[in-house]
Amino acid sequence: MNWNSRRRALRLMAAAIAGLATACEKKSETQAPAPDAGKSGTSAAPTTENKRSVGFSQIGAESDWRKANTESIQAEAAARGFELEFADAQQKQENQIKALRAFVVKGVDVIAFSPVVETGWEPVLKEIKQAGIPVVLTDRAVEVSDPDLYVTFIGADFVEEGRRAARWLIKEMGGKAMVAELQGTPGSAPAIDRKRGFEEEIKSHPDIKIIKSQSGEFTRSKGREVMETFLKSPEGKQINALYAHNDDMALGAIQAIEEAGLKPGVDIKIVSIDGVRSAFEAMAAGKLNCTVECNPLLGPQLFDAIEAILAKKPVERRIVTPSGVFEQATAAEDIKTRKY
Ligand code: AHR
C-alpha cells in the first residue's frame, strides 16, 4: 500500500473511530469533553481531503514569547497552504495528551507539539507511532526511552541560555552577587535546563550566591508576586541581582522592585531570557540590564521539517535555533529591528 492509500485508509478508520467515540460520548454523561474542543477546533470531523494537515498542541499563552510563537506557527501554516488543527492546552499536560489523541482520531498528516513538561509522554507517543503519524517536537524536549517516538526536535539550547545569563551576571557584578532566581514552570525543559546552565557556570564563582529561588511559572503576575515575597523575606535586603528564566517574570519583578522603593536595573541588576519587545523597552528605560535571546519564531523551521517529512526527505534529529545576548546600552537601537 503506498503512502496516499495508507493515509486514506487511516482517515477512514479515524472517521469511523470518531463516529464511535461520539456515540460513546452521548451515552456517558460523566465523561469529560474532548480537550479544548470548543477553543481549539479539534472536533472529530475528518480533515479536508487533499489539503495537508498538521495538528499542533500549544502549551498556552503564558508569555509574550508564547504568543509570538503561536503567531509564527499559524502564519507559516497559512502561507504554505496547510490545514492547521490548533489546540491550546492552557498549561495542562492532560489537555495536551487529549489533543494529541484527537489529532490521531482526525487522521492529520503530522503532529507537532510543544510539551509543557518533560516527562509522561511515552504512552501517547506510542499510540501516535502505531497510527503511523510522524511527530515533531518544537520549543521543548521530552524524556523518552525510545528516540524513534519523534522525528525531530526544533528549539533553542536552554542550558546554553542559562550559561549565557550567568556569564553576563558574573562579569557585570565582578564575580560577587546575592542572586534571586525566578524559575519557569516546574518540570518544564526550560526551567530545568536554564537553572542547570546557570548553576554550572557560577560553580567556579563562590561569591555568586543564589539566596532565593522559586517558580514564577513564566508569567508576569507570578513573577511580581514571588519577587514581592523575596523582597519581604529576611534575606530580601541582601538581594542585588535577579536571574529570571523569562522576560515576563522579570517584567513582573520590576514592578515589585519599584513598589518596594528600589530601582530595578540599578539597585538590583536583572538578567532574563527571551528577548521580547517589552524587555527591550524595559532595557531602554534602564530597568532591565540584559536579555538572552530565545527565538520564538519557529514557524518556518517547523514547516520546513514538516514538508521534508511528507516528501520523505531526511530531517536532522535536532534543529537548534540561533540566538544572541542583548544589553541595555544598545537596546534603543536594537528594538528597531526586533520582530517579536
Ligand atoms: O519554552 C520557552 C519558554 O516558554 C519561554 O522562555 C517562556 O517565555 C515561555 O513561556
The whole-angstrom separation of Cα 91 and Cα 340 is 22
Q: Which atom of ligand 1 is nearest to the CA of 139?
A: 1
Give the CB-side neighbour count of residue 241, counting CA atoms within 13 A.
23
> Cα 179 to the chain's mean position, in Å?
25
Angle at 30 between CA 28 and CA 35, to 5 degrees: 95
CA gap 304, 325 in Å, rounded: 26
Residue 191 CA to ligand 1 center (angstroms) comes to: 9
Burial 190-220 (b: 16+ CB within 10 A, else e): bbbbbbebbbebbeeeeebebbbebbbbbbb
Provide the sign of the torsion angle of the four alpha carbons 132, 134, 137, 143, taken in this order: positive
Give residue 297 CA to ligand 1 midpoint distance, Å: 12
Torsion angle in degrees (nearest 10) through CA of 114, 115, 117, 118: -110
Q: Which atom of ligand 1 is nearest to the CA of 62?
A: 10
- Ligand 1 first shell, C-beta below 6 A: 62-63, 65-66, 139-140, 190, 218, 246, 248, 273-274, 294
What pLDDT tens digit does each residue of the chain (340 aa) get?
A: 444 445 545 554 544 444 344 333 333 322 323 333 333 334 334 455 678 999 999 999 999 999 999 999 999 999 999 999 999 999 999 999 999 999 999 999 999 999 999 999 999 999 999 999 999 999 999 999 999 999 999 999 999 999 999 999 999 999 999 999 999 999 999 999 999 999 999 999 999 999 999 999 999 999 999 999 999 999 999 999 999 999 999 999 999 999 999 999 999 999 999 999 999 999 999 999 999 999 999 999 999 999 999 999 999 999 999 999 999 999 999 999 999 9
Question: Domains in the chain, ordered, with CATH?
Answer: 53-156+297-322 (3.40.50.2300), 158-294 (3.40.50.2300)
Q: How far apart are CA 108 and CA 11, in angstroms?
A: 8
Beta pairing partners, 269? 241
* Rounded distance from Cα 66 to ligand 1 centre (Å): 6
User: What is the CA(141)–ligand 1 centre distance, in A?
Assistant: 12
Three cell numbers written together for 161: 541560555
Helix (H) or strand (E) holding 266, with range, is none
Residue 312 cell numbers, joined: 520523505
